[in-house]
Structure formats: structure tokens, C-alpha cells
Amino acid sequence: MKRFSILVWIGLFLSCSLWIGCGASGPTDAEKEKAAAEKAAAELLKVEKGRAEALKAAVKGYETWGQHPKFKGIQKSTDGTHGAYVQVWMNDKAAAVMGKFSGTFPDGSIFVKRGYDDKEGKKPKDFITLMQKIKDYDKPNGGWFTLRIWDNDKNPLSGWAPDKKSGCIGCHSSAKEKYDYIRYLRDLKITF
Ligand code: HEC
């Protein structure tokens, strides 16, 4: 019994000193800053995920969208990154500036690309890649939100914020000047 109460006292003493110890110091400024940064990053990720989901919904039926008359139907890819052959569509916002393109596409412009292994388009790749222009978004990279959507949700959405290293914009930046990151225009010197 005596031994038991000594143990209880020791236990009590230890937990009290631990409690006082932690209570007194609290999180340091560095810890607070880290927590705030983590919270901000998690919030930003949530916003970006929302963008990705919204874009996925917005491109339903893209196969009926317009194409550039000089890059219409299935075309040979200039570098084969996403298939030896490709097809590119654009929404009405992008198409609206055709013939009066001033070097930047308007807010809300969307380009969609599907790759194929063959010229006839019988062997499509199982994903599409997309670029969406968003006002005030990622200004150093021209305001383009990038995304890859897999057919039948085979894989999670990729190519967007948490996966920026996939290099979408890195490769597209060779078309930064004059063509606002749109590669087929730059590669084939197509005027828009
Ligand atoms: C190594 C270079 C490279 C990488 C990386 C790349 N692309 Fe492209 N992309 C191209 C080229 C070249 C074209 C022009 C069409 C063609 O020739 O295939 C293109 C075309 C496109 C188009 C049609 C509009 C345009 O710019 O011509 C979209 C949309 C697109 N890519 C999205 C993406 C996304 C999203 C990613 C990342 C997941 C990505 N691309 C990664 C080279 C690349």
C-alpha cells in the first residue's frame, strides 16, 4: 500500500511538472509560423483542388468545341510528348479572339489536347491535358492552370498544383513570347 502511494505521488509529480513545463513555454514563434504556413498551404491546396474539379466539369463535351482551321482534326505532334498524333480543341472564350489575338488569351480561355498513337485516332491515349487561363492566377507563368484528366477516372487528376514538377509549364514556356504558352501556335508558326 505504501509503495503504491509513493508511485502515485511520483506519477502526479511527473505529470504536473510536464504540464507546467509545456504550459509555461508554449509554442515558439518559429513553431507558430510553421503552423500558419502549413495551414495556408492546406487552404491553397483546397482552392486548387476546387479549380481542378471545376475545370473537369467545365470541359464535358469538349469534342464538340472549335479548333484552329490550321490545326484541325488529328495532327502530327511536333514533339510526341503526349502521343505521336494529337488533336487540340478550344472553348468559345479562346476562339473569340481568333483573328484579333493580341499576345494573351482572355480570362477563362481553355485548350484541350488528346494524344493518339495512330494517325486515324483509333488508339487514343487514356487522358487529356488542359490549360485554363485564370485572371491573376500564377502570374509568373502566364496565368495558366494546367491539368491532366484520365479517362474514367482511372488515375487521380494530375498535372495541377501538387504536381507542378510534372513540368507542363516548363515545357510550354518556350512558347511564352508571342504565343502565350500555346505550343502548337509557336511550333508551327500559326497566327491566331
Ligand atoms: C516536353 C514538352 C511538353 C510537356 C512537358 C507538356 N507539353 Fe503540352 N504540349 C507540348 C507541345 C509540343 C504541344 C503542341 C501539340 C503537339 O505538338 O503535341 C502541346 C500542346 C498542349 C496543349 C494544347 C495547346 C498548346 O499549347 O498547343 C495543352 C492543353 C497542353 N499541351 C497541356 C499540357 C499539360 C497539362 C501538361 C502537363 C501535364 C503538358 N502539356 C506538358 C509540349 C509539352
Distance 44 CA to ligand 1 centre (A): 25
Number of the ligand 1 atom closest to the C-alpha atom of 130? 29
Distance 172 CA to ligand 1 centre (A): 6
Number of the ligand 1 atom closest to the C-alpha atom of 83? 18
Number of the ligand 1 atom closest to the C-alpha atom of 86? 18
Residue-level pLDDT, tens digit, the chain, 192 residues: 455 565 555 555 455 444 444 555 788 999 999 999 999 989 989 999 999 999 999 999 999 999 999 999 999 999 999 999 999 999 999 999 999 999 999 999 999 999 999 999 999 999 999 999 999 999 989 999 999 999 999 999 999 987 776 689 999 999 999 999 999 999 999 999
Grid cell digits, residue 128: 487529356
Cα separation, 127 vs 146, in Å, equals 13
- pLDDT for residue 16: 44
* 3-class secondary structure, 148: strand
Listed in sequence order, the DSSP H helices in 59-148 are 92-95
Grid cell digits, residue 35: 503552423
Distance 168 CA to ligand 1 centre (A): 7
- Considering the four listed CATH numbers 3.30.1370.10, 3.50.70.20, 3.40.50.2000, 3.40.50.300, the one that applies to the domain covering 62-187 is 3.50.70.20
Cα separation, 129 vs 81, in Å, equals 11
Which one of 85, 131, 173, 185 would you pick to mutate in the ligand 1 pocket, going by the greatest count of ligand atoms within 8 A of its CB? 131
Distance 100 CA to ligand 1 centre (A): 23
- Boundaries of every domain in the chain: 62-187
Distance 151 CA to ligand 1 centre (A): 18
| Cross-strand bridge partners of residue 149 | 128
- pLDDT for residue 42: 92
* 3-class secondary structure, 149: strand
Number of the ligand 1 atom closest to the C-alpha atom of 182? 26
User: Kind and range of the H or E element at 116?
Assistant: strand 110-116
Cα separation, 180 vs 3, in Å, equals 79
* 3-class secondary structure, 66: strand
- pLDDT for residue 11: 53
